[in-house]
Amino acid sequence: MTLSRRGFLNGAALGTACTFASDMTRLDLLRQSSWADEVKKQGKRVILLWLAGGASQLETFDPKPGRPTGGPYRAIPTSATGVHISELLPKMAARIQQTTAIVRSLNTKNADHGGGATIMETGRIKDPGIEYPDLGAICAKELGRLDSAVPDYVSMYTSTEGRRKGTSGFLGSRYAPMFLSESMQPENIRRLESVSDLDHQDRLALRDLLAKKFTQNRHSDSLGSHTQAYQRVRGLMASEKLFDIEQESAEMRAKYGPTQFGQQCLIARRLVEAGVPFVKVARAWWDSHGENFETHRELCADLDHSMSVLLDDLKDRGLLEHTLVLTFGEFGRTPGINASLGRDHFAAAWSATLSGCGVRGGACYGKTDEDGHKVADGEVGAGDLFATILSALGVDPRKEYMVGARPIPLSDFGAKPIKDVLI
């Protein structure tokens, strides 16, 4: 705990140390992680590039050139032998073998924005009576440190359409995202000028001192989390600079480029470099019911550039082997092309990618049929994708949380990791 330089509390009868009774490990009673497990997931990080609104698999990672459903764009070879992706992603094409695995056989069944997003955020179907945590919260809990001075789940969603904050569900608000929706700076992370730094510290210390008597003989996890939230304030305020890309060289900023998504990818890199275990950057909005091809020309250019630079930068800094970069959204888009030359919602056969940590670069798992209407081979659901993600991070997807009397595995019941895309 930070002490006032004036030290007004020194020698005060109550002392200054704060304790709290929270037992944050309670959820893990069933399966205590072994030391070996801990080592495996140490320092692992995730950046989720959330393609909100539903990107078209046909204009990205599962092109069907020449088919009636294929659209106008060509497929181009990638650095992985035999793997072709859309010509809208030329920079990524050059990096597939080195960094990225493609899963082309997702069938997540729900093509409604809200329902699909719930499935792809939590890795399972909504279940009344249980609020499931999303991937960010699971990773924050599994990869983060309880007393971390940096945030452990940062979620950026600056466009307004389909905006979702994310949820920590039964894991509790300790693992809720720090949510950036209005600007690139987190809200309330900077001290008001009307409060001096010294006063800011001192009143926090006074608060903790007065709270101590109250919390001493009262046993409650919620109470502990309250104490802890205030104890993390100063540390989080110190992480303000992580969100400031002006701290980067002009050259580095130029590399990421002028788009907001590119800049957010740069922030994501700064965050994982500082130890933030989970960063979600939502790129909205891909919901191209009209003018699918023009929309993807724009958004794929943004994705292709930002993602490539991000992967390169992580690699240059030696972070890529510890950082898993993901792309998916709530669903893909219909193979059928509508009268407005758009594609509609589609969850029956679509794609996701995994890059970096724990991933076999160049692996291409699963197949859709000739026109992309159905999964032809290797069908997987959201649960399997989550099991794969967790496995790539060295987290056992079968590990269970106890929620009341219910054991809830990290990835859905019966979900299996896709071994072919893992190292």
State in angstroms the smallest separation of the CB of 316 from other proteins: 24
Binder of other proteins out of 294, 317, 377, 419 (CB under 8 A) = 294
Hunting for tokens 């071994």 — which residue is that? 419
Q: Which residue number, 39 or 195, has a Cβ lying nearer to other proteins?
A: 195
Distance CA 44, CA 389 (A): 12
Q: Which residue number, 318 or 404, has a Cβ lying nearer to other proteins?
A: 404
Distance of CA 227 to the CA centre of its chain: 27
Binding mask 341-380 for other proteins (x = CB under 8 A): xx--------------------------------------
Q: Which of residues 312-341 bind other proteins (CB under 8 A)?
A: 337-341
State in angstroms the smallest separation of the CB of 357 from other proteins: 26
Q: Helix axis angle, 382-392 relative to 135-143, nearest 10°?
A: 20
Q: Which of residues 28-67 bind other proteins (CB under 8 A)?
A: 53, 65-66
Q: Which of residues 374-413 bind other proteins (CB under 8 A)?
A: 403-407, 412-413
DSSP lists the bridge partners of residue 280 as 48, 155
Binder of other proteins out of 25, 42, 173, 247 (CB under 8 A) = 173
Q: What are phi and psi of 417, to 5 degrees?
A: -65, 150
Q: Which residue number, 312 or 400, has a Cβ lying nearer to other proteins?
A: 400
Q: Binding to other proteins by residue 81, rule CB under 8 A? A: no
Q: Which residue number, 119 or 337, has a Cβ lying nearer to other proteins?
A: 337
Q: Which of residues 238-257 bind other proteins (CB under 8 A)?
A: 257
Q: What are phi and psi of 103, to 5 degrees?
A: -110, 120
Q: Binding to other proteins by residue 134, rule CB under 8 A? A: no
Beta strand segments in 264-416, E = 278-284, 323-328, 332-333, 345-346, 350-356, 364-365, 367-368, 375-377, 400-403, 406-409
Q: What are phi and psi of 271, to 5 degrees?
A: -70, -50
**Count of CB atoms situated within 10 Å of the CB of 183:** 10
Binder of other proteins out of 109, 289, 367, 374 (CB under 8 A) = 289
Counting residues that bind other proteins (by CB under 8 A) gives 107
**Count of CB atoms situated within 10 Å of the CB of 420:** 14
Q: Binding to other proteins by residue 128, rule CB under 8 A? A: yes
Q: Which residue number, 73 or 328, has a Cβ lying nearer to other proteins?
A: 73
Q: Which of residues 297-316 bind other proteins (CB under 8 A)?
A: 297-299, 301-302
Hunting for tokens 């659209």 — which residue is that? 71
Q: Which residue number, 27 or 422, has a Cβ lying nearer to other proteins?
A: 27
Distance CA 304, CA 17 (A): 50
